[in-house]
Amino acid sequence: MVVRARGLVKGYGRGRAARTVLVGADLDVAPGELVAIVGRSGSGKSTLLHLLGGLDTPEAGSVEIAGQALDARRADAVRRRQVGFVFQAFHLVPELTGEENVLLAARLPGAGRDAAQRAHELIERLGVRHVADGLPHELSGGEQQRLAIARALVNDPAVVLADEPTGNLDEASAAIVLDLLRAIADDERGIVVVTHEPAVVARADRVLELREGRLVAA
């Protein structure tokens, strides 16, 4: 398994405002598998992704990524080497060109020696070489998202976590991004996608619903 999570518990707030959003969530994702996570707004889907990627820490439970425990000591190192993130809002640095945004990931501590070369290859493979010299505001949503996917793949992660990756895209651009995510999974990576889009659900190998703090088959 490239993702193995057991008994994840996470809440927010204190006193009367306290709210637990995860109450024992379990998840396994195999290499080559695209798993879609659905659920009502506020059910904890994004929180789950943050825990799986080491951006947040569970109150209880454990996460392993590619066989490595995502604990406090190793979370940063495991995340840099094994996890790629794709977000609805793209999160490209506005002052940098598309290519510079992708190369940014190759310059982070822990990046592999071939990360810069891989960045250039991904830009070509994802069909955005012709816009790679443009600033994000000069690009379409689909072009920005493809660059964001390239950035997520620079360090050849075992797992890609995508939070509503087609939410800001038109139908044609969304279809391109879905094809890319499917191809990434078929390249023996694990993909976890939080979504409310039927088109994304239709391309998934499994669909799980986050209901009352646990993941159940949808």
Query: CA–CA separation, 68 vs 87, rounded Å?
Result: 24
User: Per-residue confidence at 77, pLDDT binned at 50, 70, 90?
Assistant: confident
Average pLDDT, the chain: 90
Q: Give the separation between CA 64 and CA 112, rounded to whole angstroms.
A: 21
What is the pLDDT averaged over residues 199-213?
94
Specify the CATH class of 3-217 in words.
Answer: alpha beta
Q: Is the pLDDT of residue 113 over 80?
A: no
Non-local (6+) Cβ contacts of 121 within 8 A are none
In the chain, alpha helices (H): 45-52, 75-82, 98-106, 115-125, 141-153, 171-186, 198-203
Express as a percent the part of the chain with pLDDT over 70.
97
pLDDT tier for residue 112 given thresholds of 50, 70 and 90: low
CA distance 113 to 116: 8
Q: Tell me the CA distances in angstroms from 57 to 53, 71, 74, 200, one per residue in order.
A: 10, 8, 12, 28
DSSP 8-state symbol, 122: H
Reported confidence tier of residue 215, pLDDT bands at 50, 70, 90: very high
Q: What is the pLDDT of residues 58-67, one digit of tens each?
A: 999 999 999 9
Report yes or no on whether pTM surpasses 0.85.
yes
- Contact 40/47 with Cβ under 8 angstroms? no
Place of tokens 């990524």: 65
Q: How confident is the model over 122-171, as pLDDT tens digits? A: 899 888 999 999 999 999 999 999 999 999 988 889 999 999 998 888 88
> From CA 101, how far away is CA 79, in angstroms rounded?
18
CA-based angle 109:110:116, to the nearest 5? 85
pLDDT level of residue 111 (50, 70, 90 thresholds): low
